Structure 1
Amino acid sequence: MHPRANVLGLLMKDNCILLEERYGKHSKGTGYYYRPIGGTIEFGEHSTETLVREFQEELGVEIVINQYITCIENIFTIEGNTGHEITQVYVVIFKDERYYEQERFLVSEGEMQTSAKWVLIEEALSGEKVVYPTSLVERCKHIYF
């Protein structure tokens, strides 16, 4: 087994970050958890290309990549199964500013549909919202939070 290479985009407005909301089993138990929009980097695809593609596929929106932030190595266990991800993280902005007014977004990933919403940064920092990868908020808070 090999680590999975993926990419995430941090999209901010006011004191909020756009996060996908999911419900299920995660490394801290079962319940709601949150993650930025992004996905798996395909072979031969640059992480920036992946991020633009993922926002288009999942939300149906165009983004502009604003800044590279960091790379996070995330090793986690869910129900005895170990996962390993190498994650590139960027700050992104909507091409169309009207999307900043939208409260919720339908997230489509193949057959699965969830939603993304603006989450207060304080809720992520305090641990009130479970955000993955686990070190994301801590790693990035000195930059934007």
Structure 2
Amino acid sequence: MPSIRPVALAVPRRGEDVLVFEYHDSIKDQTFYRPLGGGIDFGETAEAAVRRELREELDVDLLDVRLLGVLENLFHAFGRDGHEIVFIFDCRLADQSLYERDAVGEIRDDAGTKVMWRPLGSFDARNPLYPAGIVELLRGETPCRG
């Protein structure tokens, strides 16, 4: 039976840029972007999860972690439906060298998945940033869906 997945995502910023990874859904033939992070384990807080996930994915610690908001994400990707409750965290990266390059590298446990800084204004229907509503949240707007 499908279930709702709790997720914690980190959104460090470099001026107008946000740190994201690039992925491709071959079924929809769509490239999309998403902040780094992942699932929250049972008994783990969302903040602890986002810290753990960034250590696993980029081998970096987070500073000044602060909850920006929570989004409910209903989506269809990779040929299946999904439902997430997404905790979005503002933060800084402890490794200052990551702010100095546009292409940060690859996710450690997902070879080939590129991590990069992208301007918040560069995301649109052709190059979406997921989950839905995150761009508005990062701009300080109230995400609306109808």
**TM-score, normalised with respect to structure 2:** 0.85
What is the alpha-carbon distance in structure 2 between the residues aligned to residue 80 and residue 96 of structure 1?
Answer: 37
1:58 aligns with 2:54: no
1:130 aligns with 2:143: no
Deviation at 1:133?
A: 0.5
| Matching residue of 1:3 | 4
**5+ residue gaps, structure 2:** 142-146
What is the alpha-carbon distance in structure 1 between the residues aligned to residue 38 and residue 79 of structure 2?
Answer: 23
Q: Sequence identity, in percent?
A: 26
The verdict on how the C-alpha distance between 1:61 and 1:11 changes in structure 2, with shifts beyond 3 A counting, is same
Runs (4+) off by over 3 Å: none
| Matching residue of 1:108 | 108
**Mapping for residues 1-145 of structure 1, pairs under 5 Å:** 1-25=2-26, 29-78=28-77, 81-104=80-103, 105-109=105-109, 112-124=111-123, 126-142=124-140
Give RMSD over aligned pairs. Answer: 1.9
- Partners of 2:21 and 2:36 within 8 A in 1: yes
What is the alpha-carbon distance in structure 1 between the residues aligned to residue 73 and residue 35 of structure 2?
Answer: 14
Higher strand share: 1
Aligned residue pairs, count? 139
The verdict on how the C-alpha distance between 1:38 and 1:58 changes in structure 2, with shifts beyond 3 A counting, is same
The verdict on how the C-alpha distance between 1:64 and 1:89 changes in structure 2, with shifts beyond 3 A counting, is same
**5+ residue gaps, structure 1:** none
What is the alpha-carbon distance in structure 1 between the residues aligned to residue 41 and residue 78 of structure 2?
Answer: 27
- Partners of 1:8 and 1:88 within 8 A in 2: yes
- Partners of 1:65 and 1:90 within 8 A in 2: no
